[in-house]
A and B are shown apart, each in its own frame.
Chain A
Amino acid sequence: MDVKILGSGCCNCNTLEQNAKEALAELEISAEVAHVTDFREIMKYGVMRTPALVVDGQVKVAGRVPTKAELVKLLGEGK
């Protein structure tokens, strides 16, 4: 599974990264969480609101920080 966090490194993005890591640990999925901060890269996903969560190339969440429970559900689907 390929998990990416899109965001310029503001505090919301860091929270999302942290939550995603915790959710993955809970699901016992070993996936690298990449943090994309370059706007050229971010825009390729068509995202206009940060932070965003991309799973296997698909934008799952944009513009908000989902709760850990929601992330567990989201990331669990692709398992």
Chain B
Amino acid sequence: MWLAFVKWLSFSVLGLSPGTRFGEAVAFFLYDAPKVLFLLATVVFIVAVIRSFFPPERTKRILAGGNEYAGNVLAALLGIVTPFCSCSAVPLFIGFLESGVPLGVTFSFLISSPMVNEVALVLLWGLFGWKVALLYVAAGVSVAIVAGIIIGRLHLERWVEDYVWEIQVGNADMPNPTWAERLACARGYVKEILRKVWLYVVIGIGVGAFIHGYAPENLLARVAGKANPLAVPVAVLIGVPLYSNAAGTIPIVKALMEKGMAMGTALSFMMAVTALSLPEAIILRKVLKPKLLTLFFGIGAVTITAIGYLFNWLLG
């Protein structure tokens, strides 16, 4: 219905011709932009309410007890629902370690939290369908579990900055919010997210629309298609230093895929952009010695590459 309306709007009302590059680009833009923004507002609201039940203070108590491997799995899953912004990475990291959460489990959380979140989910769902969205969640959670287990097995506690172990964490007694507060907070969060990402979404979809309308079909099939074994690592290497949120990346990736980029390669690129970035490295340097920081990025990049190959192979 929405598609029919947009076609009518672009081709009858605006008088653009279907099949022309400009016409197709405009229709693509008008179809995707409002749909994604609407989905975003709805899902972010629901997730924000769910999140109010999982503050990190609670998450760390859940993770501090119990088996280490189960901890990695749980941490990766909790990363989906626990709020996280890169400026909170340091207090979260210290708070987890201090309350006895193992280092590898803490890393599982740190990897999954920025990578698998509701914004990424909505965009994938809106632009690619629910199957791809679920695939992305599964891939992201797997990367977080595997990378966390590897870091945990290596026993690298000595590569964490020494002062971290000396910090005494106080007890913040925050009362549980009431339902009215949860809803008010969720509304505020939707406003904040939309204010922060709408421009990215619009620009991302705009660039995507341009690629959709103007780039020749199969432009990327040879360089980024399945036939090129180097496509995945190259996509990851390009993605790691880039800092963007899922909102800006996913619409562009959609257009790239239409032009022949393989699914696994595209997923790897998205994960590399959202999970590993230069600003995050600078923030984490405050608590990690350079060796551990490098290793964290290395293990992250390798795991993300492996997942990309796996999906290219599975879906091939």
Tell me if A48 and B91 are in contact (CB < 8 A).
Answer: yes
Q: Determine if B169 is an interface residue (Cβ-Cβ < 8 Å).
A: yes
Tell me if A40 and B167 are in contact (CB < 8 A).
Answer: yes
CB contacts (< 8 Å) of B171 on chain A: these are 46
Tell me if A39 and B90 are in contact (CB < 8 A).
Answer: yes
The CA of A46 and the CA of B96, in the complex, are separated in Å by 11
Q: Determine if B188 is an interface residue (Cβ-Cβ < 8 Å).
A: yes
Q: Among the listed B87, B98, B173, B189, which residue makes an inter-chain contact with A43, where contact means beta carbons less than 8 Å apart?
A: B98
The CA of A6 and the CA of B189, in the complex, are separated in Å by 20
Tell me if B95 and A48 are in contact (CB < 8 A).
Answer: yes
> Which residues B175-223 have CB closer than 8 A to chain A?
185, 188-189, 192
> Which residues B207-257 have CB closer than 8 A to chain A?
none
Q: Determine if B260 is an interface residue (Cβ-Cβ < 8 Å).
A: no
Tell me if A8 and B90 are in contact (CB < 8 A).
Answer: yes
CB contacts (< 8 Å) of A42 on chain B: these are 91
Look across to chain A and name the residue whose beta carbon is closest to the beta carbon of B167: A43
Number of A-B pairs whose CB atoms are under 8 Å?
Answer: 69
Residues of A in contact with B, size category: 20 to 34
Tell me if A59 and B188 are in contact (CB < 8 A).
Answer: no
The CA of A70 and the CA of B134, in the complex, are separated in Å by 38
The CA of A13 and the CA of B185, in the complex, are separated in Å by 17
Can you list, as one digit per residue, whether each of A35-63 has a CB less than 8 Å from chain B (1) or not (0)? 00001101111111110000000110011
Look across to chain B and name the residue whose beta carbon is closest to the beta carbon of A60: B174
> Which residues A2-60 have CB closer than 8 A to chain B?
7-8, 10, 12-13, 39-40, 42-50, 58-59
The CA of A59 and the CA of B174, in the complex, are separated in Å by 7
Look across to chain B and name the residue whose beta carbon is closest to the beta carbon of A45: B170
Tell me if A12 and B91 are in contact (CB < 8 A).
Answer: no
List chain B positions with a Cβ less than 8 A from chain A.
Answer: 55-57, 60, 83, 85, 87-88, 90-92, 94-95, 98, 163, 167-174, 185, 188-189, 192, 283, 286-287
Q: What are some 22 contacts across the A-B interface (CB < 8 A)?
A: A8-B87, A8-B90, A10-B87, A13-B87, A39-B90, A39-B167, A39-B287, A40-B167, A43-B94, A43-B95, A44-B168, A44-B169, A45-B172, A46-B57, A46-B169, A48-B57, A49-B92, A62-B174, A63-B56, A63-B83, A64-B189, A67-B188
